[in-house]
Structure 1
Amino acid sequence: MRALGAWFLFLPPYSSDLNPIETAFAKLKALIQRAAARSYDDLWHAVGHVCDLFTDEKYYGFFKAPFYDAA
């Protein structure tokens, strides 16, 4: 590859457990799946309902869990 002019960029290890957005989306997807919406309108209603469940405290919890606690 180097002969073709390509260069390699090695990235640090990645852990989705330490990424708050991964945790939030996993929770969001699980709650939407639990709603078992089978139509477009039902899906959007479920998404709206699930988004209402995400309070400021819950968002703070996503950042606190992987030790992002910014006190």
Structure 2
Amino acid sequence: MNGIAFTAWIQQSLIPTMQRDDVVIVDNLGSHKRKLARNTIRNAAAHLFFLPPYKPDLNPIEMVFAKLKTLVRKSDERTAETHGGVLESF
């Protein structure tokens, strides 16, 4: 996702659901750090915080990715069909 798409998502999906003083926490992806994205969130009277770099324990999706990688590595074959089956079983 690039900065333009992220900012559009903020404007169209996030801000309409937010209230004053809400907290938005993002990782350090380049598009999350763009000035326009930061200003858009702050102009909505929200507080923006970035996760510290290299802290997967603070980013729960990283735990899901780790489990998926383990399941894929355990599969006998490395094909798209096998990977699809692993994802469906997850």
Q: TM-score range by the shorter chain?
A: 0.3 to 0.5
Structure that is richer in strand per residue? 2
